[in-house]
Amino acid sequence: MATGEVRKRLGLIVNPIAGMGGRVGLKGTDGAAILAEARRRGAVPVAHGRARRALDALGREDAAFDLLAVAGAMGEADALACGLSPRIVVVGGAETTAEDTRDAARAMADAGVDLLLFAGGDGTARDVFDAVGDRVAVLGIPTGVKMQSAVFANGPEAAGRLAGLALAGRATETRLAEVMDIDEAAMVWGRLSARLYGHARVPVARGLTQAAKSGGGAGGDDALDALARRLARTMEVGRLYILGPGTTTARIRAALGLGNGLSGDLLAIDAVRDGAPAGVDLDEAGLLDLIDDRGASILVSVIGGQGFVLGRGNQAISAAVLRRAGTENLVVLASLEKLLALPDRVLRVDTGDPATDRALEGYIRVLTGPDRSTMMRIAA
Amino acid sequence: MTEATKQSKLRRYHAARWDEPVIHEMGHPGRRGAVFSQAEEGVRAAVGDAADLIPEAMRRREAPALPEMDEYDVLRHFIHLSQQTLGMMGISLFGTCTMKYNSRLMEGLTARPEVRAVHPHQDEDTMQGTLAMIHGLDRILRALSGMDRFVFQAGGGADAAYTHCCVTRAYHASRGELEQRDEIVTTIQTHPCNAATAATAGFKVVTLMIEENGYPSLDALKAAVSNRTAALMINDPDDMGVYNPEIREWVRIVHEAGGLCFYDHANFNGVMGKLRARELGFDACMYMLHKTFGAPKGNGPAVGAYGCTEALAPFLPSPLVVEDEGRYRLDRDRPQSVGKIREFWGNVPVILKAYAWARAMGEAGIDEASDLSVLANNYMEKGLLAIPGVTKSQPHLTQRRLEMTRYSVGKLQEETGIGIFDIANRMVDFGIDAPWLAHEPWLVPEPFTPEAGELWSKEDIDQWIAVLAEVAREAREEPETVKTAPHNQVVHAFDPAPLEDPDHWAMTWRAWQRKHRKGKHD
């Protein structure tokens, strides 16, 4: 690296208890009671091994950077074990807590880190997001029990590699990725309950694999923007268009000239009619009120990484709303890249009403660009 | 370590590296390759100044900025450049490219004046041989496919796919259904040119995903087709080497919906002589003469041979070569034709090479070649899967792959940090061509797809496997060697990131000067 260039800064946070519940049959490790139960069942820390694998992979990239790590078991120990010499951020006491994660993330953001690499699960991702929002790029080393959030790399090595590329200035772009909020208290008892919590900024591995061959750019984003413009241009007079949460539908709001979100909120469900807002930040009752005999289309995206189109972050688009609008008027939009990255390449719905879920089972056309669609199977 | 890798001796290869400037930076003012004598007085008086022969508006205002060189230096420079390549005569196992030996005899034939000097505006009576040959290849391809008529106008496979889209448009328009039928169905593992040409021709594209069987399900197809379906465009086997055995049912479903079915035969090598597109129900198909039929492949002239049934023949591009009682002529009187896909009637030297290849191989030879290509691939698969860290796409499938297999080094990358680009960069250090990876989008991580074909010997295939095994060993034991490769090549490792930067890339000398030599070159 040329002298005089500003060295990038990496922040490292390891949640040492993340993932402990998994091996002993618990569905998470959040909260003191669950952690105690995990330890009682003989759980041992798994985060350190996975964090070190990521740091080793990071070390294989030619990135020069300054490292900030949380003191002790929350990062320092793993950095030292991998031959790195971190500057230390001190938080909390002996037993690590969610508050420690938030404090550390905030301190690192204030110290101007270029990337915050954290090892943990969905709970850790949520804590990091709480502290830094989308002002700092973050990347998760998956070590938790559940990784529903789209801020995680596919594995420890992939996380290390991507971090290395970002620090070496070879992955300079970022995108907004979903942070999911899982109700672990419910999960432990076997119920999956999640909602879209927010959008964190993550680095994009553009050029990591494909670019050298294709020279292509972030094609999925361009295709989605073109699709959003097409949809905005071809909206029918009088018809209601319900826009679900997320960055994909936000492109339609932008194409309509209605800003990033009608309510300025990527988590909100909005509706437009004749190019103008018909409702903002709507709940189920609000949606039901707006749907009339002029017809309605429900435009939703796919939650990256888990494939939910209904029931995660858009619960207000309920079975009753779908019935009134007609399930054939459900329109799903996603980039082809997102669809390919889904486990099993299957879409999922969870409207809370098994009959509606069953009615939605089968194949649906997911719009991936103007005049481009991909047939995807919906499994309830 | 497998038998193959034990027996193969790795070569200590090193590429020639001349470290010469580009030709624009060579030469010396006033140097010339050939000096012409002055025209005689009488000639000059009669003709005038040579420059005046060029119309005023077409005359250059400034002389072109060409390097001034003598003939010897020019020849030496280009010989050096050729020495810096692997020559396309190595072990070049490029999946979907179906690399074959391009015999010197064919080059000799196409260099003969009877071929080289033919002009498409000549009178038909003076090129009966050329037309006979085109007609002859048409007949051979009809026999291989069951189709009723071929045309060779398309300048490549994608051009032939586009031909199909144009024919599809004309067919549905003739039935008054074009406005209604605006969708073309394809699969994620069909060559992307099918989706691209469908979109270019104005159709909406519906793509089917691969499912558990290794190909899309019939249910997905049924959900995709409707009275809006104009056509299905599909390959079989796909680029992962997986053959879809339900293809006849696919064709039936699309026909029932009123759509046409196009068989992209890019991967014909594994099934040639074994099946006919027409017998599976297809309305049209495409062969690449520059791949499967032995003409050279790789950025030179190419031909996508497009064939169809009698029902679609009226819509084919014009002209067609027809035979009338022993005489061949060009039929241009075809009122329903889509017109021109490309100028004239195709790259004739490529048609000649394919014709000669097919005649030399014969029916039995073509059949045997497909057996050999499938055998070679399955032999190779055993050797490659014995290398730790190399896995096969869709490993749960038990059916054998045909003429190629998609592999992944995702596991090796997880374990070592060494990915397929690093491996490709290192393999060329052993004097073999880097493998072809996969069409986009990638469905498996870190993919590569070798195709052994019928050309390469067992020794060559063993050599290729041994090289990959060696690079995989290096990835574990001396990863830096792989990471910083190539070491024995003309060009060493470079940072690919600027390739995505429009301010950096330069496709021409002029662009290079504009972007990189600002202020340095006056």
Asked whether the beta carbons of A35 and A29 are under 8 A apart, the reply is yes
Q: What is the structure's pLDDT at A175?
A: 83
Answer whether A375 sits within 8 Å of B419, measured CB to CB.
Answer: no
Helix or strand or coil: residue A281? Answer: coil
Q: Which of B223, B415, B500 sits opposite A207 (nearest CB)?
A: B500
Q: Is A49 on the interface with B (CB under 8 A)?
A: no
Cα→Cα distances B468→A19, B12, B181, B477, Å: 37, 15, 48, 14
Q: How confident is the model at residue B3 (pLDDT cuts 50, 70, 90)?
A: low
Residues contacting residue B325 through CB under 8 Å, at least 6 positions apart? none
- Specify the pLDDT at position A368: 95
Residue B434 has what DSSP assignment? P
Share of chain A above pLDDT 70, in %: 86
According to DSSP, the β-strands at B304-308 and B284-288 are antiparallel
Picking from B204, B224, B483, the nearest residue to A371 by CB comes out as: B204
Of A60, A211, A376, the CB nearest to B417: A60
Q: Is A3 on the interface with B (CB under 8 A)?
A: no
Buried b (16+ CB within 10 A) or exposed e, A340-372: bbbeebebbbbbebeebbebbeebbbbbbbbbb
Residue of chain A nearest B419, judged by CA positions: A209
> Is the CB of B220 less than 8 angstroms away from the CB of A375?
yes
Q: Residue A220's closest chain B neighbor by CA? A: B441
Separation CA A247–CA A199 (nearest Å): 8
Question: What value does the mean pLDDT take over residues A247-263?
Answer: 79
pLDDT level of residue A5 (50, 70, 90 thresholds): low
Query: Helix, strand or coil for residue A110?
Result: helix
Is residue B1 scored above 60 in pLDDT? no
Burial B415-431 (b: 16+ CB within 10 A, else e): ebbbbbbbbbbbbbbbb
pLDDT tens track for B375-408: 999 999 999 999 999 999 999 999 999 999 999 9
Select from A375, A376, A377 the residue whose CB has the most chain B CBs within 10 Å, as the one to mutate to test that interface.
Answer: A375
Backbone angles phi, psi at B149, to 5 degrees: -160, 135
Residue A28: is its pLDDT beyond 90?
no
Per-residue pLDDT of A279-305, as tens digits, reads 998 999 999 999 999 999 999 998 766
d(CA A308, CA B492): 45
Tell me what the pLDDT averaged over chain A comes to: 84
How far lies B192's CA from each of B228, B235, B438, in Å?
21, 11, 11
Residue B456 has pLDDT above 50, yes or no: yes
Interface of B with A in 216-275 (CB under 8 A): 216, 219-220, 223-224
Contact A143, A93 (CB under 8 A): no
Q: How many CB atoms lie within 10 A of CB A379?
A: 14
Tell me which residue in B421, B437, B497 faces A170 most closely, judged by beta carbons: B497
What percent of chain B has pLDDT above 90? Answer: 82
DSSP state of B50: G
Give, in order, the Cα–Cα distances in Å from A359 to each of A299, A306, A309, B220, B221: 18, 20, 14, 16, 19
Q: Does B443 touch chain A (CB under 8 A)?
A: yes
* Residue A216 confidence (pLDDT) above 80: no
Using the predicted structure, report yes or no on whether residue B119 has a pLDDT greater than 70: yes
CA dihedral B80, B86, B87, B93 (to 10 degrees): -170
Give the separation between CA B425 and CA A83, rounded to whole angstroms.
29
Residue from the list B204, B443, B496 with its beta carbon closest to the beta carbon of A212: B496
Within 8 A of B208 by CB-CB distance, chain A residues are: 374-375
Query: Does the beta-carbon distance from B421 to A340 stay under 8 Å?
Result: no
Q: Nearest Cα to B443, choosing from B475, B408, B400, B402?
A: B408
By CA distance, what is B494's nearest residue in A? A212
Residue A88 touches partner B, C-beta closer than 8 Å: no
- Which residues, at least 6 apart from A113, have a Cβ–Cβ distance to it below 8 Å? A9, A10, A11, A68, A136
CB B211 to CB A371 under 8 A?
no
Q: What is the DSSP string of B109-166?
A: HHTSHHHHT--TTS-GGGGHHHHHHHHHHHHHHHHHH--SEEE---SSHHHHHHHHHH
Judge: A215–B499 Cβ closer than 8 Å, yes or no: yes
Q: Do A372 and B441 touch (CB under 8 A)?
A: no
- C-alpha closest to that of B223 among A377, A310, A336: A377
pLDDT recorded at residue B8:
75
The CATH number of A8-213 is which of 3.40.1030.10, 3.40.50.10330, 3.40.50.2300, 3.40.50.880? Answer: 3.40.50.10330
pLDDT of A219: 57
CB-count burial class (<10 Å; 0-12, 13-18, 19+) for B132? middle
Mutation target among B250, B500, B501, B505 for the A interface, most CBs of A within 10 A = B500
- Which residue is listed with tokens 């007079």? A237
Cα–Cα distance measured from residue B67 to residue B32, given in angstroms and rounded to the nearest whole number: 10
Q: Does A230 touch chain B (CB under 8 A)?
A: no
Q: Spell out the residues 6+ positions from residue B403 whose beta carbon is closer than 8 angstroms to its own.
A: B98, B237, B241, B267, B269, B270, B370, B373, B374, B377, B451, B452, B453
- CB contact burial B435-454 (16+ within 10 A = b; e otherwise): bbbbbebbbbbbbbbbbbbb
CATH for A219-379 is 3.40.50
- List, as one string, the DSSP characters of A217-258: -SHHHHHHHHHHHHHHHTPPTT-EEEE-SSHHHHHHHHHTTS
B479's tokens? 């990863």
Contact A113, A68 (CB under 8 A): yes
Q: Residue A331 above 80 pLDDT?
A: yes
- Cβ distance B414 to A155 less than 8 Å, yes or no, reads yes
Closest CA to B106 of B453, B287, B369, B355: B355
Residues A115-135 have a mean pLDDT of 93
Alpha-carbon span B505 to A23, nearest angstrom: 51
Q: Does A234 touch chain B (CB under 8 A)?
A: no
Q: What is the DSSP string of A62-102?
A: ---EEEEEESGGGBHHHHHHTT---EEE--S-SS--HHHHH
Helix (H) or strand (E) holding B185: strand B183-187
The domain ranges of chain B are: 18-83, 127-361
CB contacts of A223 in chain B (<8 Å) are: none
**Which member of B205, B414, B417 has the closest CB to residue A371?**
B205
Residues comprising chain A, all counted: 380
CA B58 to each of CA B49, B54, B64, B151, B480: distance values in angstroms, whole numbers, following the listed order: 15, 7, 13, 37, 57
SS (H, E, C) A255-276: HCCCCCCCCCCCCCCEEEECCE
* Subunit contact A211:B224, Cβ cutoff 8 A: no
Contact residues, chain A, for B415 at CB < 8 Å: 157
CA distance A224 to A251: 8
Q: Which residues contact A245 (CB under 8 A, 6 or more apart)?
A: A196, A266, A267, A268, A269, A313, A314
The reply to whether residue A340 touches residue B443, judged by beta carbons under 8 angstroms, is yes
Q: Summarize pLDDT for B196-233 with one digit per residue, the tens.
A: 999 999 999 999 999 989 999 999 999 999 999 999 99
Quote the CA–CA distance of B281 and B480 in Å, as a whole number: 54
The SS3 of residue A357 is helix
**B228 neighbors B183 (Cβ within 8 angstroms):** yes
B329 in helix, strand or coil?
Answer: strand
The ipTM is 0.89
| Nearest-Cα residue of chain B relative to residue A61 | B417
Give residue A213's pLDDT.
Answer: 28
The pLDDT, as a whole number, for residue B499 is: 77
Of A298, A343, A340, residue with least CA distance to A319: A298
Whether residue A269 contacts residue A249, with contact meaning beta carbons closer than 8 Å, is answered with no
pLDDT exceeds cutoff 70 at A187: no
State residue B321's pLDDT score: 96
Place of tokens 């003469």: B289
Both tokens assigned to B255: 């026909």
Contacts of A148 (CB under 8 A, 6+ apart): A122, A180, A182, A194, A303, A305, A306
pLDDT in tens, B39-57: 899 998 998 888 888 999 9
Nearest C-alpha in B relative to A171: B497
Interface membership of A377 toward B (CB under 8 Å): yes
With CB atoms and an 8 Å threshold, state whether A209 touches B419: yes
* Cα Rg of chain A, angstroms: 22
Residue A247, both tokens = 């960055």
Q: Which CATH number is correct for B127-361, 3.50.50.60, 3.40.50.2020, 3.40.640.10, 3.10.20.740? A: 3.40.640.10
Residue A305: the pLDDT is 63
Retrieve residue B313's tokens.
């023949």
Minimal C-alpha gap between A57 and chain B (Å): 6
B497 interface with A at CB cutoff 8 Å = yes
Among A42-51, A179-188, A197-206, B65-74, the minimum mean pLDDT is found in A179-188
Whole-number pLDDT of residue B449: 97
CA–CA dist A100, A70 (Å, integer):
9
Could you tell me if B167 and B285 are in contact, meaning their C-beta atoms sit under 8 angstroms apart? no
Does B479 touch chain A if contact means CB atoms closer than 8 Å? yes
Residue A363 is nearest to which of B205, B220, B446, comparing CB atoms? B220
Q: Name the E strands within B257-355.
A: 260-264, 284-288, 304-308, 320-324, 327-331
Sequence-ordered list of residues with C-beta below 8 angstroms from that of A344, at least 6 positions apart, any chain: A307
pLDDT value at residue A25: 65
CA B435 to each of CA B91, B427, B447, B458: distance values in angstroms, whole numbers, following the listed order = 10, 8, 10, 18
- A·B CB contacts under 8 A: 91
Span B426-431, average pLDDT: 96
Cβ density class B475-498: b for 16+ within 10 Å, e for less:
beeeeebbbebbebbbeeeeeebe
The C-alpha atoms of residue B295 and residue B358 are separated, in whole angstroms, by 11
Which residues in chain B have Cβ-Cβ distances shorter than 8 Å to A214?
A: 440
Q: Is B419 on the interface with A (CB under 8 A)?
A: yes
Pairing of strands B260-264, B229-235: parallel
B209 reaches A (C-beta below 8 A): yes
Query: Which residues in chain B touch residue A372, judged by CB atoms under 8 angstroms apart?
Result: 195, 199, 204-205, 207
Contact by Cβ (8 Å): A116, A185: no
Q: Which residues contact B426 (CB under 8 A, 6 or more apart)?
A: B471, B474, B481, B482, B485, B486
A375: contact with B, CB 8 A cutoff: yes
Chain B residues in contact with A213 (beta carbon < 8 A) = 437, 440
Lowest pLDDT segment from A319-328, B284-293, B499-508 = B499-508
Query: Closest-CA residue in chain A for B195?
Result: A372
Q: Per-residue confidence at A170, pLDDT binned at 50, 70, 90?
A: confident
